[in-house]
Amino acid sequence: GQDGSYLAEFLLNKGYEVHGLIRHSSTPNTSRIDHIKKDLRLIKGDITDLSSLFDTAPTRLDEIYHLAAQSDVGQSFISQAHTRMTNIEGTANIIELANRDLGWGESKLYNAATSEMFGSSQPPQNEDTPFHPCSPYGVSKLAAYWSTVHAREAGLHASSGILFNHESPRRGENFVTRKTTKAVARIKLGLQDKLVLGNLDARRDWGHAKDYVEAMWLMLQQEKPDDYVISTGVSTTVRQFCEMAFETAGIPIEWDKGQPKHLERAYLKKRRRPGEPRVVQVSSDFYRPLEVNYLKGDSAKARKVLGWKPSVGIRTLVKEMVEADLEAEKGCQCR
């Protein structure tokens, strides 16, 4: 995923010997790491199979970054058993792997937790905010979080990063941010007519994945393991993200204010004519059974203890993603 590729780059630049676990597949997708693949030691395995982990993973690992997950919130409602197996059992197996190396010296474990564990809790959310997940994904990651806490209490140097939403040009196309920027690029180039979205008023705290992998590393450089919220502290609606993406591409839009929210649509600004096709449409198909309406993180602890702070703002992030998708789509046209 995006985090693994950025983290691998970050660690290589610091002189690490980097081993990466990838799933067995007849058509493996390594596009995010092809440019550094020669510098990595890739291992095929499955985090849900403990014996395969023990057979394939090298011993004496200094730092373990556990990023693997079924992370699609919407899909977690459909594939609940798979989500539980990957996120809960998989984490338990990674903890076992970290404990295996205790005889050689201390292995430090980073566990990727998520703001979805907070669910409907009131923002801004920090390390003391009660958890109230609203999806099978959030529930599974909360179980993995507590497994990591218990491992730490048993003596393992284990920390969890409670990461709020973080994006990049490497984000999967099934996530609303990348779905939006790719669609905007295709609309700009005349390859697509419209973008279909769900809840436009959902608010998220979006940062850049590059900033967040640095926070992961900083957690494992601390003498004492702990849990940290990683966020920008700025919350943006899906609607605002969408507007910024179209604006970046030079396609300003306006919303049809005469429609109820579940039927909202947007048109090209200043060019609307009777019967003109919409460029954004809302569909109930993209609403979640239980929606998390407002996530906004308070990362004061990480800023104070780790010395971490985000370097990329939301407008810069959107611009980078749209421009990357425009280049990618132009490249596809040339081939």
- Residue 140 is assigned to a structural domain of this protein: yes
- Residue 31 is assigned to a structural domain of this protein: yes
The end-to-end CA distance of the chain, in Å, is 25
Query: Given the structure tokens 């003391």, which residue do they identify?
Result: 128
Distances (CA, A) of 40 to 11, 30, 178: 10, 12, 27
Active site residue 116: yes
Residue among 83, 86, 91, 114 flagged as catalytic: 114
pTM of this structure: 0.93
**Residue 310: cis peptide before it, omega within 30 degrees of 0:** no
Cross-strand bridge partners of residue 298: none
- Residue 217 is assigned to a structural domain of this protein: yes
pLDDT at 74: 92
Asked whether the beta carbons of 118 and 132 are under 8 A apart, the reply is yes
**What domain count does the chain have?**
1
Q: Spell out the alpha helix ranges (H) of 168-208.
A: 176-188
CATH of the domain at 211: 3.40.50.720
Give the three-class secondary structure for 249.
coil
**Distance, CA of 280 to CA of 270 (rounded, Å):** 15
- Residue 9 is assigned to a structural domain of this protein: yes
pLDDT at 81: 98
pLDDT at 103: 60
Active site residue 247: no
Active site residue 114: yes
Q: Residue-wise pLDDT tens for the chain (335 aa)? A: 999 999 999 999 999 999 999 988 767 789 999 999 999 999 999 999 999 899 988 888 999 999 999 999 999 999 999 999 999 999 999 999 999 866 656 799 999 999 999 999 999 999 999 999 999 999 999 999 999 999 999 999 999 999 999 999 999 999 999 999 999 999 999 999 999 999 999 999 999 999 999 999 999 999 999 999 999 999 999 999 999 999 999 999 998 876 666 667 777 765 545 556 789 999 988 988 888 999 999 999 999 999 999 999 999 999 999 999 999 999 876 65
Task: Name 190's Cβ contacts closer than 8 Å, sequence gap at least 6.
Answer: none
Asked whether the beta carbons of 58 and 100 are under 8 A apart, the reply is no
Residue among 6, 65, 110, 137 flagged as catalytic: 137
- Residue 87 is assigned to a structural domain of this protein: yes
| Residue 93: domain span | 2-170+206-234+292-312
- Residue 195 is assigned to a structural domain of this protein: no
- Residue 287 is assigned to a structural domain of this protein: no
Residue among 9, 63, 89, 116 flagged as catalytic: 116
Instruction: Give residue 239's identity as a one-letter amino acid code.
Output: R
- Residue 176 is assigned to a structural domain of this protein: no
